[in-house]
Amino acid sequence: MDKFSDYPTSLTAPARDAAPVAPDDALDLPVLPRALYIGQSGDVSLRLAGGQTVLFSGVPGGTVLPIRAAGVDATGTTATGIVALW
């Protein structure tokens, strides 16, 4: 039973779905996530929803980045176990 099923989903609400991310320099993520979970430490190169590309250096494993990322680049990304949350 979901006591919160009548509440609207918003960017500040907990994620309802998740999917693993395979970094790719050309492909966008199939769904624009509300955040990314970083499983294992490393650098993360992202293409943001606003069009910018940014490198987050030394992201610790277990971090949730509250980022609307259109894509995760393979080039420059050394972190693994990335999961999109929406």
> What are the pLDDT digits (tens) for 56-70?
999 999 999 999 999
pLDDT tens figures, 3-33: 877 777 777 788 889 999 999 999 999 999 9
Q: Is residue 24 part of a domain?
A: yes
Q: Is residue 10 part of a domain?
A: no
The residues pairing with 69 across neighbouring beta strands, listed in sequence order, are 48
Give dist(CA 52, CA 3) in Å, integer: 38
- Per-residue tokens: 73: 């680049």
Q: Is residue 8 part of a domain?
A: no
Q: Is residue 59 part of a domain?
A: yes
Q: How many domains does the chain have?
A: 1
Under DSSP, is residue 31 helix (H, G, I), strand (E, B) or coil? coil
Q: Is residue 6 part of a domain?
A: no
Q: Is residue 7 part of a domain?
A: no
Q: In terms of residue numbers, what domain contains 49?
A: 18-85
Q: Is residue 2 part of a domain?
A: no
- Per-residue tokens: 28: 């966008």
Q: What is the DSSP letter of 30?
A: S
